[in-house]
Structure 1
Amino acid sequence: MSWLSPNTITGDAATGNRLFRREMINGEFWKEIEKGNHILFVAPRRVGKTSIMMDLAENCSDQYSCIYQNIEGVRSRNEFYQRLFTLIIQCLGKSRAQSVKSFVQTCLKRYAIEEITASGLKFKTKELDYEQELRNLILSLEATKVHTIIFLDEFSEVISKMSRSGQKEDAIAILHTLREIRSYKEFKNFSIVYAGSVGLEFVIRNIARPKLINDLHPIQTGALTIEEAQQFIHQLTKGATIKLSRQCVQHLINVIEHTLPYYIQLMLEEIDHIAKLRNKPEISETDIDNAFESVLKKNKNFEDWHDRLKDYQSTHFGFINEILKHAAHKEQITIQEIYNIACHETYKKQDDYMDFIDQLTNDGYLIESPKHIYKFISPFLKRFWLGKYPVYYEQFNLSTPSILSIR
């Protein structure tokens, strides 16, 4: 009999029978949309927010017309407006509602659009003033009699890259325009959903414009509950050759601790690999422990957490990394120790050090437990940081290095 592996996916977003639907999150989302709110998904990395957004966009009711797109490649203000204009037309072009079809035909004539394709719009004449025409288009959406929802993934990455590449004023202009669109009563039947692997709140704070997003309704998207994790493991292993007892499922959850779908799937793939090599379908707790160590040896699984932080927080990375190295080697870091590091002449961040702690907790690096004591939320990330920085010199006691033996 052929060996059947678990139905996991750790690269692209999960869809179809690989998707684990988060009913509570979906329910909250549609409730807030009905209220007229614009949504910001607040989630740590690898929590599965892209899968959630794609599921919401693909399974909306007939009163909505939805489209999802990752816009990380957008590099300029005009390109952003062009992309958003195009997405609205593409979104409406998919609708089967007669009122929308009539509206789309009007748009084709008005903007001299020759063809709507998956890659964009083909114009008969020269292209448009996208910023102005975007406003005009959104103002006219009421005629469609449906609610148009655009899911913009990696929006925060776009704003961050623009602000770091000499386009800060253009990034701020985009935020102003979007705030205007959200605040005017004339802009009806239209919502934008924002998300990104970089925390939008922190990106906006870096350019000193927090008021430009304080009207967004945040939806927290965290790790799976214990019950959800159990259901997810069962879903992934249903029909697979490997067999995990209830005791082993619980041990797997205990080993992972922070039950992100990504971590669960990494572990199941490694467990399956170990079991297949030994031709041993029945999984033991030892197999799970060995899989944990094997996953850690593959740095590519966690390098992105380090590189993303270093990339979009290049100016402050030394300070942030000092906190993380301390938390890894000392098992925790207190708020007093964080403050002491912040006051050091190397960093001088005593006025805003808590902003960085908020970022590290929101982005899924640290957790406050108990009060005023911070630890790595995931044993995977803690062990990764220990492996990357095996020798740690405390800033205030340089004569005594802390060398942790990684077991």
Structure 2
Amino acid sequence: MKITTGQAARGDNFFKRPILINKLWRKIDSDSSIIISAPRRVGKTSLMRYIEDNPREKYYVVYVITESVYNENKYYKEIVKAILNCDSIRKRDKVINSIKDIAKNVFKSIDEVGIDSVKFSKNIEYNYYDKFIEIMKTIDLEGHKLIIMIDEFAQTIENIQQKEGTASAVHLLQSNRVLRQNSDINNKFQFIYTGSISLEGIARRMDSSKFINDLDIVKVTPLSESEGKNLINELLKGLDFTMDESTINHMLNEIKWLIPFYIQLAMDKIQDIYDEDNLCVIHNKSVDVAIKRMIEENNKFSSWHERLVVYKNNDYKFIIEALDLISISEAKKITYNEIHNLAVKYNLCETYKDLLNTLIDDGYINNDDEGKFYTFTSPILRMWWCKKNAN
């Protein structure tokens, strides 16, 4: 297993979590469409790519990322393109012939239908929502079911809201639900949605939760302590240095919120230290240096701050000040009363709880069981926020 800190981990670099994988397949087998729900960097995309790379019998899997999509028709176009160009579908002669028939009958002008790809004409723009329905009615999947995995769906909703307005964004939520409820075609496909921001939070802010309440939720939690140890030991197999159990425990205790990204990034910094100092055995001091270097790497964490610019006026001021206060607090937490006082300051008494819930959904903060205190979910993120952002 290689250290992976940028792209989704695939193949031998993917750290398998059998309980999570089986849970997702159990939901798929129940014919549900699904939200994979978790804060950013927990491994949602890696999980989706694993499902794509290892489909179970009687399933085709299509992965589509729509992060840069800003209108509804383009969204459905990306899905249609992915279906018609899906490798696993095109390997079957009967299905590829079905795709050729679709190219001739559903689309009146496609530039090329070859062994490797379908290329759309640049001169004609279709209503791709309607074309999706026609494809699902026409395509012969030989008894298989098509899993359509949409990565960054919530970001797409937010993109459309910013460019075309809330009504257009809500319409995309609504049209997706209509497809999922369409009894003429929904026996052929299921959607799985995920992304780096919370779909539940986006829908809640637009008062549109009813359009996603048919979706099953699969939560991706941080690694357990034993899983964290197993991940480190798997990574060590491909490295030239060693770490004893005490050092591994120290590293996990410093990270605390055990998401694969933080563990991988810490191991990457430890690799740098090994390269510089030729330390064959890594001890606690090197772990501490590695974590300090993690926090100094602004490009790995800056998206956490940049993401918040979607909030405007007092909403933005409230969120930033709340995170600043938590990060600089000597106790590393603030009370519910302090949060409430901040809401009063910004005249947000009616809406601040929704803002807090979104920060929780997106992995910035959490609160104790009784809701009396708020802390950063990750001490790594708290230290970075304090260093880079808190005034």
Q: Which amino acid aligns with 2:120?
A: K
1:133: which partner in 2?
131
2:364: which partner in 1?
365
Select between 214-223 and 110-119 the one with higher mean Cα deviation: 110-119
1:159 matched to 2:157: yes
1:213: which partner in 2?
212
Select between 64-73 and 100-109 the one with higher mean Cα deviation: 100-109
Task: Give the 3-state SS of the residue equivalent to 1:317 in structure 2.
Answer: helix
Q: CA deviation at 1:141?
A: 4.6
Residues 65 and 95, structure 1, Cα contact 8 Å, conserved in 2: no
Residue of structure 2 aligned with 1:22, choices 17, 22, 47:
17
Task: Give the 3-state SS of the residue equivalent to 1:325 in structure 2.
Answer: helix
Task: Give the 3-state SS of the residue equivalent to 2:303 in structure 1.
Answer: helix
Q: What is the TM-score with the length of structure 2 in the denominator? A: 0.92
Residues 248 and 285, structure 1, Cα contact 8 Å, conserved in 2: yes
Select between 222-231 and 99-108 the one with higher mean Cα deviation: 99-108
1:87: which partner in 2?
82
Change (3 A) 1:208 1:241: same
Equivalent-residue separation in structure 1 for 2:239 and 2:195 (angstroms): 33
Q: CA deviation at 1:236?
A: 1.1
Task: Give the 3-state SS of the residue equivalent to 2:281 in structure 1.
Answer: coil
1:106: which partner in 2?
101
Q: Which amino acid aligns with 1:192?
A: F
1:375: which partner in 2?
375
Q: Which amino acid aligns with 1:17?
A: D
1:49 matched to 2:52: no
2:343: which partner in 1?
342
Equivalent-residue separation in structure 2 for 1:257 and 1:368 (angstroms): 15
Identity %: 28
Q: Which amino acid aligns with 2:385?
A: W
Q: Deviations over 1:181-240 (max 9, x none)?
A: 111222212011111111111111222211111111111012111111111111111031
Q: Which amino acid aligns with 2:91?
A: R
Residues 90 and 116, structure 1, Cα contact 8 Å, conserved in 2: no
Select between 257-266 and 333-342 the one with higher mean Cα deviation: 333-342
**Equivalent runs, 1:119-268 vs 2, <5 Å:** 121-123=119-121, 126-141=124-139, 144-186=142-184, 187-268=186-267
Select between 352-361 and 120-129 the one with higher mean Cα deviation: 120-129
Q: What is the TM-score with the length of structure 1 in the denominator? A: 0.88
Equivalent-residue separation in structure 1 for 2:135 and 2:389 (angstroms): 52
Task: Give the 3-state SS of the residue equivalent to 1:94 in structure 2.
Answer: helix
1:71 matched to 2:66: yes
2:333: which partner in 1?
332
Residues 100 and 113, structure 2, Cα contact 8 Å, conserved in 1: no
Q: Which amino acid aligns with 2:242?
A: K
Paired positions, count: 383
Equivalent-residue separation in structure 2 for 1:95 and 1:131 (angstroms): 22
Residues 364 and 377, structure 2, Cα contact 8 Å, conserved in 1: yes
1:58 matched to 2:53: yes
Residues 15 and 51, structure 1, Cα contact 8 Å, conserved in 2: yes
Q: Deviations over 1:81-110 (max 9, x none)?
A: 211222222237734345423422321221
Equivalent-residue separation in structure 2 for 1:226 and 1:355 (angstroms): 31
The runs of 5 or more residues in structure 1 that have no matched partner are 1-5, 392-407
Q: Which amino acid aligns with 1:77?
A: E
Q: Which amino acid aligns with 2:338?
A: E
Change (3 A) 1:120 1:221: farther
Q: CA deviation at 1:262?
A: 0.7
Equivalent-residue separation in structure 1 for 2:203 and 2:325 (angstroms): 27
The runs of 5 or more residues in structure 2 that have no matched partner are none
Q: CA deviation at 1:362?
A: 1.7
1:291: which partner in 2?
290
Q: Deviations over 1:12-64 (max 9, x none)?
A: 11112211122222111111111110011111111111111011011102301
Q: Deviations over 1:261-288 (max 9, x none)?
A: 1110111111111122111110111111
Change (3 A) 1:159 1:120: farther
Which segments of structure 1 move beyond 6 Å, counting only runs of 4 or more? none
Equivalent-residue separation in structure 2 for 1:116 and 1:216 (angstroms): 36
Equivalent-residue separation in structure 2 for 1:118 and 1:307 (angstroms): 38
Select between 118-127 and 333-342 the one with higher mean Cα deviation: 118-127
Residues 324 and 390, structure 2, Cα contact 8 Å, conserved in 1: no
Q: CA deviation at 1:144?
A: 3.7
Task: Give the 3-state SS of the residue equivalent to 2:270 in structure 1.
Answer: helix
Residues 94 and 140, structure 2, Cα contact 8 Å, conserved in 1: no
Change (3 A) 1:62 1:370: closer
Equivalent-residue separation in structure 1 for 2:190 and 2:95 (angstroms): 16
Task: Give the 3-state SS of the residue equivalent to 1:241 in structure 2.
Answer: coil
Q: CA deviation at 1:120?
A: 5.7
Q: CA deviation at 1:260?
A: 0.9
Residues 270 and 295, structure 1, Cα contact 8 Å, conserved in 2: yes
Q: Which amino acid aligns with 1:94?
A: I
Change (3 A) 1:375 1:122: same
Task: Give the 3-state SS of the residue equivalent to 1:12 in structure 2.
Answer: coil
Equivalent-residue separation in structure 2 for 1:286 and 1:92 (angstroms): 48
Residues 163 and 207, structure 1, Cα contact 8 Å, conserved in 2: no
Q: Deviations over 1:156-197 (max 9, x none)?
A: 111101101234322222211111111122221201111111
Task: Give the 3-state SS of the residue equivalent to 2:190 in structure 1.
Answer: strand
Equivalent-residue separation in structure 1 for 2:196 and 2:328 (angstroms): 26
